[in-house]
Amino acid sequence: MHRTNQENTKAGKQLFGFLQIPPAVKSLNVCCFVMGESFSFFGSWMTQIALIWLVYQLTNSAVLVGVAGFTSQAMGLVITPLVGVLLDRWNLRYVLLSTQLVSMVLSATLTFLTLNGYITFTWIIVIGMLQGIVKAFDLPARLVTIPRLVDNKTDTYSAISIHWFMVNSAKFISPMIGGILLAKSGAGSCFLVDSISYLPFISAILTVKIQSIPNNSVAKKAQVWNNLKEGFVYAYNFVPIKCVLILQITICFMAMTYVNLMPIFANNILNGNAETMGFLMTASAFGSIISGLYLVFRNKAKGLEKIIASSTTILGLSLILFSRSTDLQTAIVLIFIVGMTNTLTLAAIGNFVQLIIADENKRGRVTSIFTTCFLGILPFGNLFFGGLADKVGVNNALLFGGACCLIGATYFYKKLPEIKKLYTLYT
């Protein structure tokens, strides 16, 4: 009887341990930062939605919509690796303040041009490219900053999980509110909201305490290209980071592109309309929210490598099954699983990378490589799958993407014993 009570007590602790408030939430420093950045994420997502609508309204061309998206996103592939070297040298507070102020000016410019009828496709391309350059600095800087907000290193996992949850929450909410604003007030109102959304984050950046690290010598600082090479060599030679980055590239190229194929799938496969696409996108976004909550309340870094492996496998299988679905109800369930596992895998990889970086002086460079694999690969995946869907059909294109995810998961599973050993050692 005593043994049974002990077992019940242990099970109760495990249950309530999962429901406990995440450690990072107790930190005013972390909460102030992530709450501030959630407002700017919300505005940024709203602007992306409004820009897609505006480009299509101006050009009536799906091809030019793709071109506009590609030109802004592709800047990350070119610039982001070099950004990592600079982030390891520069003051992160000043970098973040600069990116928010420039973003605010760009959004205000879009607002002015749109509301006064001066907006053109050329203006959208130019401003989109500038926004892409800003993002190349901004997103890695945020990720590098978060581990330096916590007082205890053990709270790093919790802080990064909350960051990803806020990203996905903004991604979930902004399409609904953005759609209402677009319908009632036009794209200019979305750009105006975006301009204002940077103010809370600027206030947070000025308020939080960011821990500094010892500076490198002046001689070493002069070797920009050597520092860049150092970062790539470190990422390549350290097996856990190399393996998760290879898997991340696979997912960003082969799986994340499903979002761009949803309008075609809803129309051609499900014989639906814009409302059908809305159901699918909402289900996918809701899955992202669920995965974010799971990582936040999980409250521990141990076992992340297993989550990455299993969620990638489920992602591949669910994407394959979704590609074969022909009724809306089944498709909604499957796309919910796709959205959940896609976000879970990428967020877990993001956490994994930040936790396993042993050399703090290389954090900026490794983080920028991680961001490059995300921002730089995705636009090429969109272009590739757009062409593939045109040639073999959207369902077969999705099937191919799911199969490639399973191949990536198999590769990762083979490396799992070595990854687990090193991950346990460094965390």
End-to-end CA distance of the chain: 38
Structure tokens at 181: 């604003």
Structure tokens at 165: 């949850």
pLDDT recorded at residue 284: 86
Q: Which of 313, 295, 301 is closest to 413 using CA atoms?
A: 313
- C-alpha separations of 303 from 307, 412, 420 in Å: 7, 14, 8
Q: How confident is the prediction along the chain (427 residues), in pLDDT tens digits per residue?
A: 444 544 444 444 444 454 566 666 677 888 899 899 989 988 888 887 788 778 777 887 656 766 776 777 776 667 777 777 777 778 889 999 999 999 999 999 999 999 998 999 999 989 988 988 898 888 888 988 888 888 777 777 788 888 878 877 777 777 667 777 877 888 888 899 999 999 999 999 999 998 876 555 444 555 767 777 777 788 788 888 889 999 999 998 999 888 778 877 888 899 887 678 778 877 888 888 898 888 887 767 678 889 999 999 999 999 999 999 999 999 999 999 999 999 899 888 988 887 777 666 777 777 777 777 776 777 788 778 878 887 888 899 999 999 999 999 999 999 998 888 776 665 5
- CB contact at 8 A, 270 and 330: no
Evaluate the CA torsion angle 43, 143, 234, 352 in order and state its sign: negative
- C-alpha separations of 331 from 183, 252, 262, 325, 340 in Å: 27, 21, 11, 6, 14
As a whole number of angstroms, the distance between CA 381 and CA 350 comes to 20
pLDDT recorded at residue 323: 94
Let me know if the fold of 24-212 is the same as that of 213-427: yes
Superfamily for domain range 24-212: MFS general substrate transporter like domains (1.20.1250.20)
Q: Indicate the angle between helix axes 377-392 and 239-254, nearest 10 degrees.
A: 40
Residue 395, CA atoms < 13 Å, CB-side half-sphere: 12
Structure tokens at 72: 């802004």
- CB contact at 8 A, 288 and 363: no
Q: In which residue are the tokens 């105006």 written? A: 192
Domain boundaries, the chain: 24-212, 213-427
pLDDT recorded at residue 111: 94
As a whole number of angstroms, the distance between CA 129 and CA 194 comes to 17
As a whole number of angstroms, the distance between CA 386 and CA 66 comes to 9
pLDDT recorded at residue 23: 67
As a whole number of angstroms, the distance between CA 52 and CA 66 comes to 9
As a whole number of angstroms, the distance between CA 208 and CA 192 comes to 26
pLDDT recorded at residue 366: 79
- C-alpha separations of 232 from 145, 228, 237 in Å: 20, 7, 8
Which CATH code, of 1.20.1250.20, 2.30.30.90, 3.40.50.150, 1.10.357.10, is assigned to 213-427? 1.20.1250.20
